[in-house]
Structure 1
Amino acid sequence: MKVLIAGAGRLGTQIAQVLAAARNEVTLVESDEDRVAELGSLPLVRVVAGDACDPELLEQAGALACDLVVATTGRDEDNLVISLLAKRRFGVGRVAARVNDEDNAWLFDQRWGVDLAVPAATPLISLIEEATGATDTVALLRLSKAGVEVIETAITAQSRAAGHTLGEIELPAGTVVATVVRDGRPTVPGPEVLLLPGDELLLVSHEATEQEIHAAFQ
């Protein structure tokens, strides 16, 4: 599946990483050049600098060939414009858009090209499942054709992994850490990364269960 995500904040970046880890072709569009520089080493994700409200930029980013567009910027007006362009100009089959202000929720419908309106408080798992059509809630996302699970776990002050490096954690067989998200920013998960309360980890596994992965960190 070819996916274009507009907005490289915490939510957009996490969605991009999950879908890329599940072997989808993902492009992430962000207008903030500093943020683009931070994401330069994002694994498996193509990052494009520019304004996703610009139809020429969307076309250059591959909107004409996309199966799914997800608008996750922090501005509702931008998410609506992106959705409308995706649906009306580029004929994208499925468009999901984040609703930042619940007072604007009534605008997010087919008139603006929105197939799925996502309130800001919607859990990541629900957003991805609804946007992609996946319905298995055992893990964060399971795509049977890919044969891979992507599972999310969070580090708290009570987690036994807190204060330890990734290299000190014994992971279940067939499991790798895709990214560590800290303060909304993804980091490359090297063995020297020290895990701190508040960190969120995305892990990819071909064998382990969600319970086995959580047990390694909690």
Structure 2
Amino acid sequence: MKVVIAGAGRLGCQIAQVLGAARNDVTLIEADDDVADGLADRLPARLLAGDACEPSVLEEAGALTADLVIATTGEDEDNLVICLLAKRQFAAPRVVARINDTENTWLFDQRWGVDAAVPAATPLISLIEEATSATDTVALLRLSKAGVNVIETTIGPRSRAVGRVLADIPVPAGTVVAAVIRDGEPTAPAAELRLQPGDELLLVSHSATEKEVHTAFQ
């Protein structure tokens, strides 16, 4: 699946990490050049610096052939413009938008090219389920095309994983840590990375259940 994501904030990066880890072709657009440069080698996605409200930038990102366009910037006005361009100019099959201000919810509909809109507070897993529901690539976050599940777990203050390095934590067979998100920033899951309370882990597994993954880290 080819995905274009506008906005490399916490949410945009998390979505890029999950979908990229599942071997989707992901391009992440970020208006801030420094932010884009800083993320270039930290995500399984192509980083493109530019304003996604500009048709030329969306075209460079691959919107003409994208299966899914997701607008996750921090500005509702920008997200609406991006969705309208994606649907009307580039005929994207599915367009999803983040709603930052709930008072603007009424705007996010087909008139603006929005197929699905989700509030900013929506959990990552729920957002991805909503975003990909029409592509038949993810069903309840079971990545059938890739043959894997993506499972999210958070390290609590009393988790036995606190203070331990990733290499010392036995994960279920067929399971790998795809990313560790710390303070809103994705971190490469190096073997020597020492886990801290609040770390969010995204794991990819062929066979493990959510309970088995949570047990390993909690």
- TM-score bracket relative to the smaller structure: over 0.9
Structure 1 Cα separation of the partners of residues 196 and 18 of structure 2: 21
In the other structure, the counterpart of 2:206 is 206
Map Cα deviations across residues 115-165 of structure 1 (whole Å, 9 max, x no partner): 10111111111111111116744xxx2121210111100011011001111
In the other structure, the counterpart of 1:118 is 118
State how 1:85-100 maps to structure 2 within 5 Å: 85-100=85-100
Structure 2 Cα separation of the partners of residues 80 and 113 of structure 1: 8
Structure 1 Cα separation of the partners of residues 33 and 194 of structure 2: 27
Structure 1 Cα separation of the partners of residues 205 and 143 of structure 2: 12
Structure 2 Cα separation of the partners of residues 110 and 128 of structure 1: 19
Contact 2:3–2:27 under 8 Å retained in 1: yes
Is there any run of 5+ residues in structure 1 with no aligned partner, and where? none
Structure 2 Cα separation of the partners of residues 145 and 4 of structure 1: 19
The Cα shift of 1:174 comes to: 1.0
Is there any run of 5+ residues in structure 2 with no aligned partner, and where? none
In the other structure, the counterpart of 1:173 is 173
User: SS of 2:178's equivalent?
Assistant: strand
Structure 2 Cα separation of the partners of residues 112 and 55 of structure 1: 15
Contact 2:8–2:73 under 8 Å retained in 1: yes
The Cα shift of 1:37 comes to: 2.0
In the other structure, the counterpart of 2:217 is 217
State how 1:41-120 maps to structure 2 within 5 Å: 41-120=41-120
Map Cα deviations across residues 91-129 of structure 1 (whole Å, 9 max, x no partner): 001100000001111111111111101111111111111
Question: How many residues get paired?
Answer: 215
Structure 2 Cα separation of the partners of residues 14 and 84 of structure 1: 23
TM-score computed with the length of structure 1 as normaliser: 0.95
> Which stretches of structure 1, 4 residues or more, deviate above 6 A after TM superposition?
none
User: SS of 1:69's equivalent?
Assistant: strand
Moved more, 64-73 or 15-24: 15-24
